[in-house]
Amino acid sequence: MRQTEDMRPQVVAHRGASFENAEHTRRAYLEAIREGAQAVECDVRLTADGHLVCVHDRDLRRIASTRGLVSTMELADLDQLEFSSWKNPWADLDDEGADLDPDLDKVLTLRRLLETVADADRPIELAVETKHPTRYGGLVERRLVEALEEFGWTGADSPVRVMSFSYVALQRMQRLAPQLRLVMLIDKARHWPMLKPMVEDGWILGPGIDALSRHPKFAQKMAHSPHDVHVWTVNTLEQLELCQSLGVAAVITDRPRAVLGWLDGVPCT
């Protein structure tokens, strides 16, 4: 059933509460849960020794100051790197700042994130994006399904949904775990005519907020689609109001506390 305008969209924390915390760290996810997010989102990549880790970029220059590629490094090598200080390079000068904690600020494995979601004091959903292209091809999806099976999270009642910009990856997931919810991510409005005939019944559409904002006709097509719509990355009140006017089912945001406040009518800067 499509979301209606008088219903609240689900608030999904993009890479955790990543506006104020280093993305994809356990600290960011715990903060998102504390702030009240109903779901959290992550990207996953496969290490050289077969571990799924929560990292967006294929290389680590932006978040760990190294040219290393996730796909060519083992988990033990990644675990030696620092994944948080890039967010606040002046942290060492802040006497009141929190100290780095290996359990909160190092590389986060998907398994550890699944444990964090499972251990939360209330139901939390998880949106997992598999990153492509990758040298490991379909192994990423197979490893993901194996991890979800260990938690009993591949059935129709799973709190997990899988997202990708790759139609092939979603087809692969549908074969491996046919009851999981799938999200076809859409980067550009001009891609929709090509994607529309390929999207399966029951799949969710995942357009970016920029495409919706810049292309009103595309936004209306999303609004009138029989599919649920999950929008990324919604960080301003204006963007949220557009999503509400379109009746979207979920908004993915770096700022879960702010979005929840806006939905409650509480001003938030």
Closest Cα to residue 23, out of 53, 71, 55?
55
Looking up tokens 């810049």 gives: 214
Q: Which residue type, as a one-letter code, is found at position 199?
A: V
Active-site residue among 14, 24, 227, 230? 14
Q: Which residues pair with 41 in a beta bridge?
A: 14, 127
Catalytic residue status for 56: yes
Tokens of 185: 């991510």
Please, are residues 251 and 228 in contact by the beta-carbon 8 Å criterion? no
> Which residues lie closer than 8 Å to 137 by C-beta, 6 or more apart?
none
* C-alpha atoms less than 13 angstroms from C-alpha of 203 in its C-beta half-sphere: 25
Q: What CA–CA distance (Å, rounded) separates 39 from 223?
A: 22
Burial class (CB within 10 angstroms; exposed 0-12, middle 13-18, buried 19+) of 236:
middle
Collapsed DSSP state (helix, strand, coil) of residue 251? strand
Closest Cα to residue 189, out of 228, 216, 223?
216
Active-site residue among 24, 56, 132, 224? 56
Please, are residues 211 and 186 in contact by the beta-carbon 8 Å criterion? yes
Q: What single-letter DSSP state applies at residue 75?
A: H
Tokens of 224: 């009138």
* Residues annotated as catalytic (active site), given as ranges: 14, 56
